[in-house]
Chain A
């Protein structure tokens, strides 16, 4: 049989048939699965108003029922959980999962374990877009918490993030004559990403400089990342954009494994390299742009979580991608609990917590990199 016949017989794409679907869970996986509900419950119970587990379960049982049947004290707890802590914990979980799996995907795509979702310029672009939206909405803070205001913010972050990514992608895609299909140089992409990040950062600073105190405070709070503005609409938005992105990214495990061999090796293994790059960048852009829109700029989760996991379970993406999502969600929920408790009743921006925890961890990892046998 000639290869031309073969083409028509084997129509199904072998990469699609096997990827992602069969999750093999090792010890680390079970541990993550076990810790996740514990951390989520902790996220719901910890705060200025304390409640024990029994009260929490009672509240959770009545979460979607009429509160009038409860006594006033329980109804109060019910309101706290339903309106404040549940959206906040869920948002932290989803955003953390999205950031970590995006980081894992970018590290694979760039074949660099030190890459971060912000490397393609999406974080800074989204943050600039959000700042512009904040300036447009003005100081009417309440407006931003309604659906209308929220969607302008999200839209701003989205447009900003996607524009930045498109610029990075466009500038790093050369129209080389000899290479089949215009190829995107990942090294150039990295450098252009740095330039775009600097540019958007400058725009952000300029906006902050020119605006009044209240707007400036909002912009700078945005850049520290925070989950205090979590609300039901935000959680729904996150569930609609970030959750599908997480599941989509998990489908690319084999292609990402092949990419680690090298771009041409991946191509020789049948990976449509150009299409994979494009798909990954777009999915990550959506996930990260919406996480910036909903929770501000939260650093280090996307960088540190996949990096640490790789040291435990190895570089294979079939495990790395889902585990990163689980661990990222776990880490951000934990960081948010710390952010709420440490200055109680006041709060710290969660981005500060992740940076305080993440930076030293990252330095330790860097120092151990030789034992790890990498780069």
Chain B
């Protein structure tokens, strides 16, 4: 199996228009396998729409999203679900399932046996610090606890065992997963994603925190008004001119004292 550099998910000249307005305009990019790609851009840039195209919920007006060379919409849902997991921006669950049952739903696309499923579910609940909440109704949780429950659910969909091994063709799409999380859990999640990426998971993550993206992502895609302005390594994308161009704010960029990664600070 040819690992690494070969890209599993490919956006090929993807355009999407809605009621005559272009939401995405000719976007081509290849998600590097086993890497974290952060999708940045101002509100309304088309980040969520791009994620919808990647998950097959929306079909591009032009162009294609390909998974291993096959158009994403031609997969049967239950086949696609074995390789692609999606965390939407908001969750509409308002039935009092207990936390453990919500996480276990991530195992629906697989039939690896109850013992295996349960072990994966428990492992992820341990990692995301929701094991104590296992028997609590989801509806009674705080925003951050709900988010961690949903994260555990989505991750359990792509993990094959308690060693956190992932199927090499798995793609994880996350839409602003850290918004409701406190600082330690933000780091926890990003570290976990790095760990999974090292095992072959391809991650596309929408973020608003540029510094978080700069610290943890391998590549950054900058989106503005439906157009892809840049898609490159962190050092090349996080520059004063680029940030000015995308967000229209003046910033200073310094090197992180420990990691030497770019650190964006707002000008006063």
**With known contacts A1-B1, A111-B92, A262-B91, A272–B57 Cβ distance under 8 A:** no
The proximity string for B residues 63-91 relative to A, scoring 1 for CB distances below 8 Å and 0 otherwise, is: 00001111001011111111111101001
Selected from A6, A113, A180, the residue in CB contact (under 8 A) with B169 is: A6
Which of these, A3, A12, A179, contacts B58 with CB under 8 Å? A179
Asked if B94 and A261 make an inter-chain contact with CB atoms under 8 angstroms apart, the answer reads no
CA distance A2 to B105 in the complex (A): 24
Given A178-B59, A179-B59, does the pair A14, B78 have CB atoms closer than 8 Å?
A: yes
> Do residues A3 and B88 form an inter-chain contact, with CB atoms below 8 A?
no
Question: Does A13 touch B at the CB level, under 8 Å?
Answer: yes
Q: Residues of B contacting A114 with CB < 8 Å?
A: none
| A83: interface (CB < 8 Å) | no
Q: By the criterion CB–CB under 8 Å, are B96 and A373 in contact?
A: yes
A13-B78, A260-B95, A262-B93 known; A4 vs B109 contact (CB < 8 Å):
no
Indicate if the CB atoms of B85 and A268 lie closer than 8 Å: yes
The answer to whether the Cβ of A18 comes within 8 Å of any Cβ in the partner chain is: yes
Does A270 lie within 8 Å of B169, measured CB to CB?
no
* Cross-chain contact of B111 among A14, A180, A372 (Cβ < 8 A): A14
Is residue B55 within 8 Å, beta carbon to beta carbon, of the partner chain? yes
Complex CA distance for A13 and B79, rounded to whole angstroms? 9
- The answer, among A12, A178, A265, A375, for a CB contact under 8 Å with B61, is A178
> In the complex, are the beta carbons of A272 and B58 less than 8 A apart?
no
The yes or no answer to A17 lying at the interface (CB within 8 A) is: yes
Docked Cα-Cα span, A111 to B139, in Å, equals 14
A269 touches B83 (CB 8 A): no
Chain B: interface residue total (CB-CB under 8 A): 51
**Once bound together, how far apart are the Cα atoms of A373 and B70, in whole Å?**
43
Q: Does B97 lie within 8 Å of A270, measured CB to CB?
A: no
- Digit string of A256-276 for contact with B (CB within 8 Å is 1, else 0)? 011011101101111111000
Q: Does any Cβ of A come within 8 Å of B144's Cβ?
A: no
Closest Cβ of chain A: how far from B25's Cβ, in Å? Answer: 15
CA distance A177 to B17 in the complex (A): 9
Check B78 against A113 for contact (C-beta < 8 Å): no
Q: What's the Cα separation between A374 and B93 when bound, in Å?
A: 10
Identity of the chain B residue whose Cβ is nearest the Cβ of A265 in the assembled complex? B88
- For A13, the closest partner residue in chain B by CB is B78
Structural contact, B75 and A373, CB atoms closer than 8 A:
no
CB of A88, distance to nearest CB on chain B (Å): 36
Question: CB of B198 within 8 A of chain A?
Answer: no
Minimal Cβ-Cβ distance residue in A for B139: A373
Q: Give per-residue flags for B202-245: 1 if the beta carbon is below 8 A from chain A beta carbons, else 0.
A: 00000000000000000000000000000000000000000000
A13 proximity list for chain B (CB < 8 A) = 78
Residues of chain A with a CB closer than 8 A to B32's CB: none
- Determine if B82 and A10 form an interchain contact, defined as CB atoms under 8 angstroms apart: yes
| Closest CB in chain A relative to B106 CB, distance in Å | 7
Q: Count residues of A near B (Cβ-Cβ below 8 Å).
A: 42
Q: Are B83 and A270 in contact (CB under 8 A)?
A: no
Q: Which of A273, A314, A375 contacts B94 (CB 8 A)?
A: A375
Residues of B within 8 A of A179 (CB): 57-59
Cα–Cα distance between A1 and B3 once the two chains are bound (Å): 10
| Residue B12 is within 8 A (CB to CB) of chain A in the complex | no
- Say if the beta carbon of A218 comes within 8 Å of chain B: no
CB distance from B49 to the nearest CB of A (A): 9
**Do B57 and A269 touch (CB < 8 A)?**
no
A18 vs B104: C-alpha distance in the bound complex, in angstroms? 14
**In the complex, A363 has a CB within 8 A of chain B:** no
Contacts of B168 in A (CB 8 A): 1
The answer to whether A316 and B105 have CB atoms under 8 Å apart is no
A267 to B173, CA, bound (A): 14
Q: Is the CB of B96 within 8 A of A372?
A: yes
Give chain B nearest CB distance to A109 CB in angstroms. Answer: 13
Q: For residues 1 through 31 of chain A, which have their beta carbon under 8 Å from a beta carbon of chain B?
A: 1-4, 6-7, 10, 12-15, 17-18
A254 touches B108 (CB 8 A): yes
* CB closest residue in chain B, given A373: B139
B12 to chain A, nearest CB (A): 17
Mask, A69-106, CB within 8 Å of B = 1, is 00000000000000000000000000000000000000
How many angstroms from the CA of A2 to the CA of B57 in the assembled complex? Answer: 22
Given contacts A262-B92, A268-B55, contact A14 B67 (CB under 8 A): no
Q: Which residues of A contact B139 (CB under 8 A)?
A: 373-374
Residues of B within 8 A of A (CB): 1, 8, 16, 18, 55-59, 61, 67-70, 73, 75-86, 88, 91-98, 101-102, 105-106, 108-111, 137, 139-140, 157, 167-169
**Can you list 18 residue pairs at the A/B interface with Cβ under 8 Å?**
A1-B1, A3-B169, A10-B79, A18-B111, A111-B94, A111-B95, A177-B61, A179-B58, A261-B105, A262-B91, A264-B57, A265-B91, A268-B85, A269-B106, A270-B79, A270-B108, A373-B140, A374-B139
